[in-house]
Amino acid sequence: MILLFMLDWKMTAIMLSVIPLSMLLLWPMGAKTYKISKQTQDGMASFSADLGRVLGEVRLVKAYSGEELEKQKGISAIRHLFGLGLKEAKIQAIVTPFMTTIMMIVLVILIGYGGVRVSAGDLSAGTLVAIIIYVFQIIVPFTQLASFFTAFQKAMGATGRIQDLLKLDQEEKGTHETAVLQKELSFENISFGYSKDKPILSGITFTLQPNQSIALVGPSGGGKTTIFSLIERFYQPVSGTIKIGDKDIRSLDLRSWRKQIGYVSQDSPVMSGSIRDNICYGLEREVSDEEVAQAAIKANADAFIRKMPDGYDTEVGERGVKLSGGQRQRIAIARAILKNPSLLLLDEATSNLDSESEVLVQQALKNLMKGRTTFIIAHRLSTVVDADQILVLENGRLSGRGTHEELLACNPLYRKLAVKQLQLEEAN
């Protein structure tokens, strides 16, 4: 470009006039490409999510004869993606030939204009030849610039969602390290909601002394599992403070804090891999076979594991599909036992066990709870009557607090739950 200006600025100005002319097409085409790219990403995300849902719950699909419905949904999604691909291809099919044509027209104009100037003696033939040779060298990269512009707009559309994710707030890591053992855990006027207009918890205040157990009971959707999420710092309270000792848990090192927590959930998630991998999951030390077996024995899991084809090396499959619900539950309990946490969170930890296994696992959990601060969520009151303290959660608020006997005497909701369960047990 510098050499062209040095040779003849008039000829160079004519060549550069193609830029605003090109932008008249490229700009709207680029905007359209950006929009199509975002639609493609959304379509791919939706299709992948549906595919994962169907494959993950393929037994449900088969049981309710939903194959044809899911097939039609899949075909519709693929046709939508194919249509977006065609739109993008049409834009590419227009942009590149258009830019090439514009450059050819400019080249013809330069040759004609240059020939007139050579005839008039304003320009030497050698300079005209040099200008034309330089223009030929510019044509190819200039036409490629059009393809780059559309590709850039496509990339902008594709990475828009990634940029949104990168702008999200990260978890508060904290800096201080502390031991949970021998320190009280307290909720001070905690309020929380996933959205501002729908509070889940309101004004929750209680204190749990070290090495004691506290049970959370109440109707489904009352906020019991949300309290566990706040303790594990998956979410931050909208207002109020959660303290361990005299320190706000938000000031504690997040990794160190979670290492001291053992969590057994009601859905018992199992990772793809062997049974041994799942029991040892998250541990950053070498674990002996004897330790793994002892944890499984305490969780009443050793017997069924040894009956598996490869014992502790048996692959559990995607999301543990090769295991029953009760087996997954016992592996999750064994994982918590092996972790040996200071703070134990049990969310319906025995919900998927048969009566015989439940008795054995209850005993194992009682042994595990000794010397540990324990939170228990249970809908079956028989599993929490021995807790040091029971909290009754109703519509996100504490409606009662005390021992089993105290609540039975003075809390209407707890009494109602207890009477209803007693009647069910008698009926059974």
The set of catalytic residues is: 348
Beta-carbon contacts of 150 under 8 Å, excluding residues fewer than 6 positions away, are 26, 29, 30, 33, 91, 92, 95
- Whether the CB-CB separation of 254 and 315 falls below 8 Å is answered with no
Of 265, 235, 253, whose CA–CA distance to 244 is shortest?
253
- Whether the CB-CB separation of 247 and 176 falls below 8 Å is answered with yes
Residue 371 to residue 412: CA distance in whole angstroms = 32
Tokens (6 digits) for 11: 């000829």
Residue 257 to residue 184: CA distance in whole angstroms = 14
Bridge partners for 174 per DSSP: none
Tokens (6 digits) for 221: 């959707």
Give 344's DSSP letter: E
SS3 (DSSP) at 75: helix
Compute φ and ψ for 191, nearest 5 degrees: -125, 145
Beta-carbon contacts of 147 under 8 Å, excluding residues fewer than 6 positions away, are 92, 95, 96
SS3 (DSSP) at 199: coil
Residue 313 to residue 106: CA distance in whole angstroms = 72
Alpha helices for 17-124 (secondary structure H):
18-56, 58-63, 67-120
